Amino acid sequence: MSSTKDGERDQFDNLDKHTQWGIDFLERYAKFVKERIEIEQNYAKQLRNLVKKYCPKRSSKEEEPRFTTCLAFFNILNELNDYAGQREVVAEEMGHRVYGELMRYSHDLKTERKMHLQEGRKAQQYLDMCWKQMDNSKKKFERECREAEKAQQSYERLDNDTNATKADVEKAKQQLNLRTHMADENKNEYAAQLQNFNGEQHKHFYIVIPQIYKQLQEMDERRTIKLSECYKGFADSERKVIPIISKCLEGMILAAKSVDERRDSQIVIDCFKSGFEPPGDFPFEDYSQNIYRTISDGTISTPKQEGMKIDSKTTVGKAKGKLWLFGKKPKGPALEDFSHLPPEQRRKKLQQRIDELNRELQKETDQKDALIKMKDVYEKTPQMGDPGSLQPKLAETMSNMDRLRMEIHKNEAWLSEVEGKVAARGDRRHSSDINHLVTQGRESPEGSYTDDANQEVRGPQQQHAHPNEFDDEFEDDDPLPAIGHCKAIYPFDGHNEGTLAMKEGEVLYVIEEDKGDGWTRARRQNGEEGYVPTSYIDVTLEKSSKGS
């Protein structure tokens, strides 16, 4: 009996240890899943931070990317952001379907295991109690039997002893009968306890314990099945998002295929296209003409050496007197009419401003219509509001509309001006008589220019496309030689830097012909140089210059 009970306890302890190991293994796997979830979450977070770092910060529409390479990269960033979202989906699915399920099941498993083990221990304790009761009744029966045997021997000894009194013999007989009766009762008690124990023992080993073992086995098998399901769910969590991740990768490939080198090149061309006319051929400079020049030539009586002897402050080759009429951008603020920009860029800016003003005008128009409708409603239904309260807002809207119309008209005039000049240059570019000096504006200063002195000066700022052309020329310390002379037909203020003011009838040296842009470069006798409108002067070139 003792070996059987010890063997049973050993098996029960083994099952106790095994089921505990199963729960520990399940929780270990749950910890693994949790760490994997943290990796996915950190990965997604790092991807999102990376996307945020390289995404453009668009403070204005002008800074929006236009190149196909930029657009493709930003599309790739968007796809990568979606990819990061799918990694978050994986983490969320693992957390809900695997980790959360494992933790709930682990709690239930511990409760169930504890219940089965308690049932097994109770069954063992009950069998031990039955065995003790049977063993006690057995020992008591054994003790009573020995007492009965002693009483039998004492009665027989007194009964055979002739010296013993009858009373002693009778007393010994009564004692024998009492012990025999008690032995019989204990025998019956022992038999009953033995029968009860055998029944409980049979029930314990054939019914109770096998049932508990079966429940523990089923519990462990369910744990195994649950782990299998979680293994599968772990993989399914990621397999579920593979189609969407594939779409993200396909989007990246499509973004790569959308790169168009010709379109990018065209954008660069459109962005930096100036609209300036390419410079004409350089004329032949005949330095030998000074040898044959006499004092009686023309109206210029001062030798060229005198023109060269000028103060260092006005020397053309010095940095302070450098002419940047078409070459360098003024340091001052941008002009309202964008005349500081090349013609093509100026045209774009003006067109953009006109479009914006038209949009604002449309908004104001819509607001005016809404206010008028509201005013009509208030007039028809006074309880809804006072029509007079809308008058200030309506007046303000009308004022804004008038202002916007004036702005649009003004910008459209500038746009027409720049488009007319670009078209005129195009005509001159295809004309064979490029160096024709007498223009329509020769008859009147208003022929090809406006009365605004600023607009007169804007002409040369819009005509030259090669900034370094004049910088390189003005870097030379020696001034350019005169190729002729001119007489001012009309006065010219020359307020803008790079232009030369002149009075009516004033005679100047011509040091550079009109290249088709309507401006001639001239120099006073004191060495001061600048550009003057060709239509404002009467030019006389040297024979050698004309011939060249």
Please name which of 454, 386, 397, 456 lies closest in space to residue 421, comparing C-alpha atoms: 456
Is the model's pLDDT at 64 over the cut of 70? no
The pair of three-digit structure tokens given for residue 94, joined into one six-digit string: 């693992």
Residue 497 near residue 512, CB atoms below 8 Å: no
**What are the angstrom distances between the C-alpha of 340 and each of 352, 394, 417, 522?**
16, 38, 14, 23
The least confident of 25-39, 62-76, 82-96, 108-122 is: 62-76
Topology of the domain covering 11-265: Substrate Binding Domain Of Dnak; Chain:A; Domain 2 (1.20.1270)
Close Cβ partners of 394 (under 8 Å, ≥ 6 residues apart): 368, 371, 372, 375
The tens digit of pLDDT for each residue in 390-439 reads 888 888 998 898 889 888 988 888 888 877 766 655 555 544 443 443 33
Average pLDDT (465-492) is 65
The CATH superfamily of 484-541 is SH3 Domains (2.30.30.40)
Angstrom distance (rounded) from CA 496 to CA 530: 10
Residue 330: pLDDT band with limits 50, 70, 90: very low
Whether CATH 1.10.287 fits 343-422? yes
Give me the residues paired with residue 512 across strands: 521
pTM surpassing 0.75?
Answer: no
Range 198-222 average pLDDT: 93
Backbone angles phi, psi at 511, to 5 degrees: -110, -10
Show the CA angle centred on residue 22, arms to residues 16 and 28, nearest 5°. Answer: 135
Residue 163 confidence (pLDDT): 82
Q: 218-227, 394-403, 524-533 — which one is most confidently predicted on average? A: 218-227
Phi, psi angle pair for 322, to nearest 5°: -70, 135
C-alpha angle 26/28/31, rounded to 5°? 115
Selected residue with higher pLDDT from 108 and 547: 108
C-alpha closest to that of 462 among 349, 354, 331, 345: 345
What is the token pair recorded at 188? 């019956």
- The per-residue pLDDT for range 486-522, each reduced to its tens digit, is 999 988 887 777 888 898 889 999 988 888 778 899 9
User: What's the pLDDT band for 544 if we cut at 50, 70, 90?
Assistant: low
Helices vs. strands in the chain: H and E counts, helices first: 14, 5
pLDDT at 211 over 90: yes
What is the average pLDDT value for the chain, to the nearest integer? 79
Is the predicted pLDDT of residue 10 greater than 70, yes or no? yes
Domain boundaries, the chain: 11-265, 343-422, 484-541
Q: What is the pLDDT of residues 115-146, one digit of tens each?
A: 999 999 999 999 999 999 999 999 999 999 99
